[in-house]
Amino acid sequence: MLLSSETRLGLRMTTHSFIELVEYVFTLPDVSVFLSQRITQDPLENFFGCQRQRGGTHDNPSVQEFQKNMQALRVVNSFVKGPVKGNCRGSKGFDKPVLEKENHPLPKRIAAQKRK
C-alpha cells in the first residue's frame, strides 16, 4: 500500500497527538479508564447528515434555512435516529438524545380531582 507523504505525515501527527492525550489524561487525578470511543466526531457528522437530509436536494442551506431545519429537528426529535445515509457507525448507546422523553405519567390536577 502506497501512501502519499501528506497522508503519512497526517497519520504520524494523529498517532503522536493521541499518545500524548492518553498520557496526559492518566496524569489527572481519579482517572483510571480512558474510552477513546468518546472522542469521536460521529454525533456531529450525524447531526449535519440530518440537516442535509432535511434540505433535500439543496446542499448549502442559508442561515435561515438551517435555523428552520434545526427547529423542525427539535420538534420531531429525528436527529436521534441519525441520517439515512452516512459514514458513521452506530454508537451502542453512547450518544443520548438531546430531547429525552420521560416515561412517567404526569401528575393529575387538583381541580380535576375535586370535580369527581
Q: What is the pLDDT of residues 62-89, one digit of tens each?
A: 888 888 888 888 776 644 555 556 665 5
Q: Higher model confidence: residue 17 or residue 88?
A: 17
pTM as predicted: 0.44
Give me the chain's average pLDDT, please: 75
Please state, in angstroms and rounded to a whole number, the distance separating the CA atoms of residues 42 and 88: 6
* Cell 502506497, residue located: 2
- Among 83, 78, 74, 90, CA closest to 37: 90
Cβ pair 86, 40 in contact under 8 A: no
Q: Is the pLDDT of residue 47 over 60?
A: yes
* Percent of the chain topping pLDDT 90: 22
Burial 77-95 (b: 16+ CB within 10 A, else e): eebbebbeeeeeeeeeeeb
- Locate 77 and state its grid cell: 426529535
Give the largest CA-CA distance in the chain: 79
Please state, in angstroms and rounded to a whole number, the distance separating the CA atoms of residues 60 and 65: 9
Q: Is the pLDDT of residue 37 over 50?
A: yes
Q: Is the pLDDT of residue 33 over 50?
A: yes
Question: If you compute the radius of gyration of the chain from its CA atoms, what whole number of angstroms results?
Answer: 22
Q: What is the pLDDT of residue 8?
A: 94
- Locate 110 and state its grid cell: 387538583
